[in-house]
Homo-oligomer: A and B are copies of this chain.
């Protein structure tokens, strides 16, 4: 199992710089007052494709040799990672193929197509997705880019915490969402090197608490069919992300569905930015555990802004 190193992060940072935004870090006096802390929001919702996933995908795609790149890239993840992979591939002028169940939402198919990706449909089971992807790779020689269980992807996601650390002095804590663990692993990789005393908290929906259960059990606990409005966070850890989570994460904190949506709308209203439900989990846990965070300087990674605005989840209108 290849575990990325801090040198890989520095290489990723240089490699992806021409292809991503250096996203702004925003603050809100209101949210500082409400939380009793000082929060610095790293706005990856303003990133290319509207999510931090552009970092890992660009690192994987632009790290390929010309020969390998010629065969294209492929994945069977269908969310922000798929869009990011298609974006990166289009920038490099190579093919990207996404295996998707035939009943996938039209919006997800449209996102892949809008970035020039090709869709291969399969039966809506995990086994069919795996089999279709394996067949595709056998046929085309495409490079498989897993959304998080991939050293290149983790090193790419790690550049987000690198920028946060470069721009904001003396952070006490960083809080980021956890799904499969790619972002938090990258965050751990960067900060355990640059600021080993900094606390790293992962924020997870209580409805999809496999990582929380894993940390308590001391080993990966898998849960199927988790359901949460934070739909980017329903995936399970893998050994490569467990490596980082088990070593460097101070704790995993949980938020209910209602707490997540409240934090999301609060951010929309007070910060004037659109964030997706997954991105609201850190603020939700900070507001829920005020005593734990009071008086601290906290970096929060806003992971993405891809939400169906005209059909807002739980919108009270």
Q: Is there an interface contact between A272 and B269, defined as CB atoms closer than 8 Å?
A: no
Q: Is there an interface contact between B272 and A50, defined as CB atoms closer than 8 Å?
A: yes
Least CB distance, A91 to chain B, in whole angstroms? 11
A46 neighbours in B (Cβ, 8 Å) = 26, 271-273
A273 neighbours in B (Cβ, 8 Å) = 46, 272-274
Q: Is there an interface contact between A310 and B305, defined as CB atoms closer than 8 Å?
A: no
What mask results when residues 101 to 140 of chain A are scored 1 for a CB within 8 Å of chain B, else 0?
Answer: 0000000000000000000000000000000000000000
A265 neighbours in B (Cβ, 8 Å) = 309-310
Q: Is there an interface contact between B272 and A268, defined as CB atoms closer than 8 Å?
A: no
Q: Is there an interface contact between A272 and B317, defined as CB atoms closer than 8 Å?
A: no
Which residues in chain A, 259-317, are within 8 Å of chain B measured between CB atoms? Answer: 265, 268-269, 271-275, 305, 309-312, 315-317
Cα A269 to Cα B317 with chains together (Å): 18
Kindly report how many copies of this chain are found in the complex they form together.
Answer: 2
A268 neighbours in B (Cβ, 8 Å) = 274, 309
A48 neighbours in B (Cβ, 8 Å) = 29
A26 neighbours in B (Cβ, 8 Å) = 46
Which residues in chain A, 30-73, are within 8 Å of chain B measured between CB atoms? Answer: 45-46, 48, 50
Residue of B45, B271, B310 near A317 (CB, 8 A) is B310
Chain B residue at smallest Cβ distance from A24? B24
A24 neighbours in B (Cβ, 8 Å) = 24
Shortest beta-carbon contacts, A-B, top 7: A272-B305, A272-B274, A45-B272, A24-B24, A310-B316, A310-B317, A311-B317
A316 neighbours in B (Cβ, 8 Å) = 310
